[in-house]
Amino acid sequence: MKRLTVHASREYDVLVGRDLLNRAGDLAREALKKSGGRVMLVSEDRVAPLYLERATESFSAAGFSVFTYVFEAGESSKNMNTLAGLLNRMAEVPMTRSDFVVALGGGVVGDLAGFAASVYARGIRFVQIPTTLLAMVDASVGGKTAVDLPAGKNMAGTFWQPSLVICDLDLLDTLPGETFRCGVAEIIKYAFIGDRELYDHLCQSLTDHLEWIVARSVADKRDLVEADERDTGARQLLNLGHTIGHAVERCSDFRIPHGDAVAIGMHRITSAAVKKGRCDRNVLVCLDALLDRYGLPKSAGFDADSLTQAALGDKKRQGDSITLVLPCGMCKSERMAVPVGELRDWIAAGGDAEE
């Protein structure tokens, strides 16, 4: 098992290994320095049949009283109504400020459960047990919580760091292939932000070095979170591919999953950067080779006008500008503030070959 410590407004460990779900109760008791009390286990209806019983048994055996809240799977559930349902369930128990929430699921579960923990009783602790590769390497670490609004993805949320993250690689065994590849997209992102060693491992084999690759991705995110917890500077590099990716998700009514959308966004912004002379074409060649290797898409068929309109609601917009993350070399990226009026030109430049 690998242990990585995140030094943020709340210091916590991220554990990466196997057979950790069965030990989750004891691990949480140790991390939170707490014996007894109430736990709200939050999950969704695809994960719950697989792992909720084992999780409940683990926390019960560790001395906690376990309560559950299960909602319908999918991005469409990450809304204020589901949040209100969870908060009301917590109040009915009732949960107190000495109790904690456990998120058992992918990014949607983690975002929503973390948000609920951050606002219930003005903030109680929570533990992340991500069940997807994407959530392990991205959503579970860093303290961003959110729900979607009609105006855009993750538009209502808080910064609220977890008290522990448990990444049990055994839970990935039940993932459908298309869901697993969504996590690979985020790992590729870390490589092209600035991790050449990670890129080299991805060119060889992901599954043969899975524990190392997951831990390395977590370390890459940890370093940026520690440098810029509130996402006003260096942490924004984590948005490589995300401005266009979020627009792709929205244009598809979220039928295109997050990882696939990020892959499309990375390809398109890299293509634009090449066309505008911001990076060498070899960067795009290497990126596309990895996307192809892991079966990730490079286009979705949406035109520049539709994507631009969707992207204008991006939360990274500040007044009349929006920050784009651009590859500027092999495994090297940079931030650039672009006037809103120039956003369509950037999006169109990355898709001329497709449209």
Let me know: does 101 contact 40? Beta carbons within 8 Å: yes
Let me know: does 71 contact 110? Beta carbons within 8 Å: no
Question: Which range is least confidently modeled, 196-200, 225-229, 235-239, 347-351?
Answer: 347-351
Number of C-beta neighbours around residue 271 at 10 A: 23
Chain segment 8-58, per-residue pLDDT in tens: 999 999 999 999 999 999 999 999 999 899 999 999 999 999 999 999 999
Q: What mean pLDDT comes out for the span 123-150?
A: 97
Which residues, in sequence order, are CB contacts of 45 under 8 Å at separation 6+? Answer: 70, 71, 72, 73
d(CA 59, CA 127): 12
Q: Residue 328 pLDDT > 70, yes or no?
A: yes
Phi, psi of 19 (to 5 degrees): 55, 45
pLDDT of residue 152: 85
Let me know: does 221 contact 19? Beta carbons within 8 Å: no
Closest CA to 51 of 135, 174, 178: 174
Let me know: does 248 contact 307? Beta carbons within 8 Å: yes
Assigned token pair, 76: 């469409």
Kindly give the residue spans of alpha helices, DSSP state H, lying in 131-195. 133-134, 177-194
Residues of the chain with pLDDT > 70: what percent? 98
pLDDT of residue 313: 76
Let me know: does 323 contact 316? Beta carbons within 8 Å: yes
E strands in 199-320: 317-318
Let me know: does 42 contact 116? Beta carbons within 8 Å: yes
Q: Residue 355 pLDDT > 60, yes or no?
A: no
Q: Residue 210 pLDDT > 90, yes or no?
A: yes
Which residues, in sequence order, are CB contacts of 329 under 8 Å at separation 6+? Answer: 279, 280, 283
Beta bridge partners of 44: 71
Kindly give the residue spans of alpha helices, DSSP state H, lying in 102-207. 107-119, 133-134, 177-194, 196-204
Chain segment 227-261, per-residue pLDDT in tens: 999 999 999 999 999 999 999 999 999 999 999 99
pLDDT of residue 354: 41
Let me know: does 299 contact 267? Beta carbons within 8 Å: yes
pLDDT of residue 308: 96
Question: Which range is least confidently modeled, 37-46, 268-277, 289-298, 305-314?
Answer: 305-314
State the pTM of this model.
0.95
Q: In this structure, is the dihedral angle defined by the CA atoms of residues 262, 316, 6 and 71, taken in order, positive or negative?
A: negative
CA 230 to chain centre: 16
Residue that the structure tokens 């990716």 belong to: 245
pLDDT of residue 353: 38
Confidence of residue 124 (pLDDT cuts 50, 70, 90): very high
d(CA 45, CA 278): 45
210-227 and 196-204 helices cross at what angle (nearest 10)?
160
Cis previous bond, 327, omega within 30: no
- Mean pLDDT for all residues in the chain: 96
pLDDT of residue 319: 78
Residue that the structure tokens 């709340």 belong to: 10
What domains, with CATH codes, occur in the chain?
A: 2-174 (3.40.50.1970), 229-349 (1.20.1090.10)
Confidence of residue 315 (pLDDT cuts 50, 70, 90): low
**Cα dihedral angle (133, 138, 140, 141), rounded to 10 degrees?**
140
